[in-house]
Amino acid sequence: MNFNNEAPSRTTVFRELREFCNGCNSFDEEYTGRPVSTVTPDDVARVRKIIKYDDRRTCHTSQNTLGIASTAMYEILQDELKMKKIVSRWVPYNPTLNQKSERVRISRWNI
Protein backbone atom coordinates (compact mmCIF):
# COMPACT_ATOMS: atom_id res chain seq x y z
CA MET A 1 0.00 0.00 0.00
CA ASN A 2 1.15 3.50 -0.80
CA PHE A 3 -0.36 6.42 1.16
CA ASN A 4 1.81 9.17 -0.37
CA ASN A 5 1.41 12.34 1.72
CA GLU A 6 -1.84 11.23 3.36
CA ALA A 7 -0.22 8.76 5.76
CA PRO A 8 0.30 9.86 9.37
CA SER A 9 3.83 10.17 10.66
CA ARG A 10 5.46 7.29 12.50
CA THR A 11 5.34 9.25 15.76
CA THR A 12 1.60 9.80 15.37
CA VAL A 13 0.99 6.11 14.73
CA PHE A 14 2.95 5.07 17.84
CA ARG A 15 1.21 7.72 19.99
CA GLU A 16 -2.23 6.60 18.83
CA LEU A 17 -1.30 2.94 19.40
CA ARG A 18 -0.09 3.73 22.93
CA GLU A 19 -3.32 5.61 23.71
CA PHE A 20 -5.41 2.77 22.26
CA CYS A 21 -3.55 0.20 24.39
CA ASN A 22 -4.15 2.37 27.48
CA GLY A 23 -7.92 2.19 26.93
CA CYS A 24 -8.51 5.38 24.96
CA ASN A 25 -10.46 4.43 21.87
CA SER A 26 -11.78 7.84 20.85
CA PHE A 27 -9.71 9.47 18.14
CA ASP A 28 -12.05 12.44 17.79
CA GLU A 29 -10.54 14.29 20.76
CA GLU A 30 -8.39 17.26 19.90
CA TYR A 31 -4.69 16.78 20.58
CA THR A 32 -3.55 18.99 23.46
CA GLY A 33 0.20 18.80 22.84
CA ARG A 34 2.57 21.43 21.58
CA PRO A 35 0.93 24.08 19.37
CA VAL A 36 1.63 23.98 15.63
CA SER A 37 2.99 27.51 15.52
CA THR A 38 4.40 29.51 18.38
CA VAL A 39 4.84 32.77 16.46
CA THR A 40 2.82 35.66 17.82
CA PRO A 41 2.47 39.21 16.46
CA ASP A 42 4.26 40.42 19.60
CA ASP A 43 7.27 38.19 18.80
CA VAL A 44 7.34 39.47 15.22
CA ALA A 45 7.37 43.08 16.45
CA ARG A 46 10.15 42.35 18.96
CA VAL A 47 12.31 40.62 16.32
CA ARG A 48 11.71 43.47 13.86
CA LYS A 49 12.81 45.97 16.51
CA ILE A 50 15.97 44.01 17.39
CA ILE A 51 16.98 43.57 13.72
CA LYS A 52 16.34 47.24 12.99
CA TYR A 53 18.51 48.24 15.95
CA ASP A 54 21.37 45.83 15.11
CA ASP A 55 21.22 44.05 11.75
CA ARG A 56 24.47 42.17 12.43
CA ARG A 57 23.02 40.11 15.30
CA THR A 58 22.96 36.37 14.89
CA CYS A 59 19.81 34.31 15.23
CA HIS A 60 21.26 32.56 18.27
CA THR A 61 21.89 35.75 20.26
CA SER A 62 18.53 37.21 19.23
CA GLN A 63 16.58 34.12 20.23
CA ASN A 64 18.40 33.95 23.58
CA THR A 65 17.64 37.63 24.21
CA LEU A 66 13.96 37.28 23.31
CA GLY A 67 13.49 33.80 24.76
CA ILE A 68 11.91 32.24 21.67
CA ALA A 69 12.65 28.95 19.92
CA SER A 70 15.04 28.77 16.98
CA THR A 71 12.32 27.46 14.67
CA ALA A 72 10.09 30.40 15.58
CA MET A 73 13.00 32.79 15.04
CA TYR A 74 13.68 31.49 11.54
CA GLU A 75 9.96 31.46 10.73
CA ILE A 76 9.66 35.10 11.79
CA LEU A 77 12.73 36.20 9.83
CA GLN A 78 12.03 34.26 6.65
CA ASP A 79 8.23 34.02 6.46
CA GLU A 80 6.97 37.06 8.35
CA LEU A 81 9.70 39.67 7.79
CA LYS A 82 10.89 38.24 4.43
CA MET A 83 14.55 38.65 5.37
CA LYS A 84 17.67 36.61 4.75
CA LYS A 85 21.26 36.77 5.93
CA ILE A 86 23.73 38.21 3.43
CA VAL A 87 27.36 38.22 4.52
CA SER A 88 26.73 39.36 8.09
CA ARG A 89 23.56 41.47 7.84
CA TRP A 90 19.86 40.73 7.73
CA VAL A 91 18.40 42.23 4.56
CA PRO A 92 14.94 42.08 2.93
CA TYR A 93 14.41 39.47 0.18
CA ASN A 94 12.94 42.03 -2.19
CA PRO A 95 14.46 45.40 -1.31
CA THR A 96 12.71 48.55 -2.46
CA LEU A 97 14.28 50.91 -4.98
CA ASN A 98 15.39 53.24 -2.15
CA GLN A 99 17.03 50.35 -0.29
CA LYS A 100 18.87 49.25 -3.45
CA SER A 101 20.16 52.75 -4.16
CA GLU A 102 21.27 53.10 -0.51
CA ARG A 103 23.24 49.85 -0.79
CA VAL A 104 24.93 51.08 -3.97
CA ARG A 105 25.80 54.40 -2.32
CA ILE A 106 27.29 52.67 0.74
CA SER A 107 29.19 50.18 -1.40
CA ARG A 108 30.71 52.94 -3.51
CA TRP A 109 31.64 54.89 -0.39
CA ASN A 110 33.41 51.82 1.04
CA ILE A 111 35.46 51.27 -2.12
Q: Please give the residue that has the higher pLDDT: either 21 or 5.
A: 21
Distance CA 41, CA 28 (A): 30
pLDDT digits (tens, 9 = 90+) for 50-98: 888 887 778 888 888 888 888 888 888 888 888 877 666 666 677 788 8
Q: Which of 73, 83, 78 is nearest to 37 (CA)?
A: 73
| Structural domains of the chain sorted by starting position, each given as residue range(s) with its CATH number in brackets | 37-94 (1.10.10)
Full-model pTM: 0.48
Average pLDDT, the chain: 78
